[in-house]
Amino acid sequence: MPRVVFQGERGAFSEDAVLRFFGDVELLPRRSLADVFEAVTEGKADFGVIPVENSQAGSINETYDLLLKYALNIYGEIALEVNHCLMAPAGESLASIKTVYSHPQALAQCEQFLRKLEVEIVPTYDTAGSAKLIKEKGLVSCAAVASKRVSEIYQMPILAEDIQTITDNYTKFFVISKQKAKYADENKTSLVFGTKNVPGALHDCLGAFATRGINLTKLESRPSKNRPWEYVFYVDLEGHIEDDICSQALQDLREKTRFLKIIGSYPKNVASA
């Protein structure tokens, strides 16, 4: 049975993504995203599942920094519909809540609802962990933003459902592994590169794809951790590194960049396209 590590407590959305992608596996919760990467790197887990981007709140920057830092492959992707609930211990009501705990991404996705409550917002490391914290410490006048399944696990009544600002709220997750994914009918490739410090450098780099008709589904910059005021660029593209046209584009790109790292070629999640 595969061992799959994820960030958060039991009931976290990352756990839901694990179950959706793999089905029955050995689940290994960890406190931080870095812990997930470490567990896979050290062979304590076969796969890791990490949140990458939310359709409302945008990219999870820490994830992208870790993908650059660690020598792991993206093995697959999955998009999960995320519906947030506000839950609290028995006896609490919307009127009694003074403090709300949850992961920063969840809080951002529910910002409009929470603003109307006029409560103190406390970011934590995990949605499910927030409910666990309130329950175990017996906190009063406190609530957590998490999934409906979390309310069942920690037996905390739901005060409000579907509180996310945008109804169609999805989070994309990557599956990471030392293994490389098998070639599929439809594939995506993720990579990161740094440009040379010359005029038109990014334009020249992107031309390697444009001239070959390769579709880029994501382009995002992040500050370089090694060079102040310089940036690296993350790209998702349609195709596989074994495809002739992609191979040619990447060889062209390599000659134009300061560095290039292929994070993975993996099956495209058609449902999330």
Which residue stretches of the chain are H helix? 13-22, 33-41, 61-69, 104-109, 111-117, 127-137, 148-153, 201-210, 244-256
Q: Are residues 41 and 173 in the same domain?
A: yes
CA distance 54 to 75: 19
Q: Are residues 77 and 91 in the same domain?
A: no
Q: Which tokens go with 250?
A: 């990447």
pLDDT at 224: 85
Q: Are residues 217 and 253 in the same domain?
A: yes
Digits of tens for pLDDT over the chain (273 positions)?
A: 999 999 999 899 999 999 999 999 999 999 999 999 999 999 999 999 999 999 988 899 999 999 999 999 999 999 999 999 999 999 999 999 999 999 999 999 999 999 999 999 999 999 999 999 999 999 999 999 999 999 999 999 999 999 999 988 899 999 999 999 999 999 999 999 999 888 999 999 999 999 999 999 999 999 987 777 789 999 999 999 999 999 999 999 999 999 999 999 999 985 443
Q: Are residues 264 and 191 in the same domain?
A: yes
pLDDT at 271: 46
pLDDT at 273: 34
Q: Are residues 232 and 99 in the same domain?
A: no
CATH of the domain at 119: 3.40.190.10
pLDDT at 119: 96
Domain end among 177, 210, 232: 177
Catalytic residue among 124, 171, 189, 195: 171
Catalytic residue among 21, 37, 47, 173: 173
**Number of domains, the chain:** 3
CA distance 94 to 212: 56
Q: Are residues 115 and 8 in the same domain?
A: no
Give the residue among 175, 160, 213 at the shortest CA–CA distance from 74.
175
Domain with 44, as residue range(s), is: 3-82+169-177
In a domain, 182, yes or no: no
In a domain, 34, yes or no: yes
Task: Check if 217 is active-site.
Answer: no
Task: Check if 41 is active-site.
Answer: no
pLDDT at 136: 94
In a domain, 12, yes or no: yes
139 alpha carbon, distance to own chain's centre: 29
In a domain, 197, yes or no: yes
Q: Are residues 142 and 24 in the same domain?
A: no
In a domain, 137, yes or no: yes
Q: Are residues 156 and 42 in the same domain?
A: no
Q: Are residues 67 and 90 in the same domain?
A: no
Q: Are residues 55 and 173 in the same domain?
A: yes
In a domain, 273, yes or no: no
**What are the angstrom distances between the C-alpha of 81 and each of 110, 130, 169, 207, 215?**
14, 20, 6, 34, 25
In a domain, 76, yes or no: yes
In a domain, 195, yes or no: yes
